[in-house]
């Protein structure tokens, strides 16, 4: 890989860098995607029960939301310092941090969506013979989907950005290109490739989730029109 020196051309973007180093970029992109998808999925599995717990008991809502917010205030370096002694300098360390950081967004949006379901709708479902589980999955969750999908979109975009912090433990996806560019005597093409890749990945993920949200809530499109 060519180092950027003052006497040599050092453009901010060089397509030849991407084509010439694609075999190195692709594994980093794959790691970035895996960490993002894994963190959002695991975060969702944790956040939904917490949102249900907070919705069911008002006095638990404050502690649940406060706990998720408290976790988010922990700097990433400190978070990795807490986790690394157990998991080592592995992708698992980064994944755990990303999952914990996603909770503050997911729990709040899931809870807001569930709380937005009118009480008379739930009562009507129960009056029609729906059990609590059936009411939740067939009535409440569909009505809460706009807020749920909004939370997933924000959490996903935020996670795409946070993955780059994983360079601290050697698993930062496209963030490895950014730090690698700075280490290679400020190699601009490498830096911009990593940064632009993160932006494009976040935009693509957001558009994909927006499309999924529209597909799952066709009634909302009719209401807006």
* Cβ proximity of 160 and 14 under 8 Å: no
Between 74 and 144, where is the model more confident?
144
- What secondary structure letter does DSSP report for 28? H
pLDDT in tens, 50-85: 999 888 877 788 888 888 888 888 887 788 888 888
Cα–Cα distance measured from residue 109 to residue 158, given in angstroms and rounded to the nearest whole number: 14
Note the pLDDT of residue 33. Answer: 94
* Cβ proximity of 209 and 156 under 8 Å: yes
Of 130-134, 161-165, 174-178, 202-206, minimum mean pLDDT range: 130-134
Cα–Cα distance measured from residue 34 to residue 95, given in angstroms and rounded to the nearest whole number: 9
Note the pLDDT of residue 179. Answer: 85
pTM here? 0.85
pLDDT over threshold 60, residue 6: no
* Cβ proximity of 173 and 163 under 8 Å: yes
- What secondary structure letter does DSSP report for 211? H
Among 7, 11, 50, smallest CA distance to 189 is for 11
* Cβ proximity of 113 and 146 under 8 Å: yes
Q: How does 42-59 read in b/e, with b if 16+ C-beta sit within 10 Å?
A: bbbebbbebbeebbeeee
Segment 112-126 mean pLDDT: 84
* Length in residues, the chain: 225
pLDDT over threshold 60, residue 14: yes
Torsion on CA atoms 50, 53, 55, 60, rounded to nearest 10? -100
pLDDT over threshold 60, residue 111: yes
Note the pLDDT of residue 2. Answer: 47
Q: Tokens representing 109?
A: 């949006």
Note the pLDDT of residue 205. Answer: 95
pLDDT in tens, 84-99: 888 888 889 889 999 9
Among 146, 107, 138, smallest CA distance to 122 is for 138
pLDDT over threshold 80, residue 225: no
Dihedral sign for Cα 121, 124, 128, 134, please.
positive
Note the pLDDT of residue 30. Answer: 92
Of 32-36, 95-99, 135-139, minimum mean pLDDT range: 135-139
Cα–Cα distance measured from residue 143 to residue 60, given in angstroms and rounded to the nearest whole number: 23
Note the pLDDT of residue 23. Answer: 86
């Amino acid at each position: 890989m060519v180092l950027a020196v003052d006497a040599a051309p050092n453009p901010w973007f060089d397509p030849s860098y991407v084509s010439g180093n694609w075999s190195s970029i692709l594994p980093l992109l794959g790691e970035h995607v895996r960490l993002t998808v894994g963190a959002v999925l695991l975060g969702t599995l944790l956040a939904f029960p917490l949102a249900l717990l907070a919705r069911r008991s008002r006095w638990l809502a404050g502690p649940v939301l406060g706990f998720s917010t408290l976790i988010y205030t922990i700097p990433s370096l400190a978070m990795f310092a807490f986790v690394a002694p157990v998991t080592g300098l592995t992708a698992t360390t980064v994944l755990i941090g990303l999952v914990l950081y996603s909770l503050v967004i997911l729990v709040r949006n899931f809870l807001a969506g569930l709380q937005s379901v009118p009480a008379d709708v739930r009562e009507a479902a129960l009056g029609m013979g729906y059990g609590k589980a059936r009411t939740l999955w067939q009535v409440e969750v569909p009505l809460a989907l706009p807020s749920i999908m909004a939370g997933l979109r924000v959490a996903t975009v935020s996670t795409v950005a946070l993955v780059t912090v994983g360079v601290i433990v050697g698993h930062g996806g496209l963030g490895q290109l950014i730090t690698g560019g700075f280490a290679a005597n400020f190699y601009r093409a490498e830096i911009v490739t990593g940064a632009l890749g993160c932006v494009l990945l976040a935009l693509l993920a957001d558009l994909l989730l927006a499309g999924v949200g529209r597909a799952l809530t066709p009634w909302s499109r009719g209401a807006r029109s």
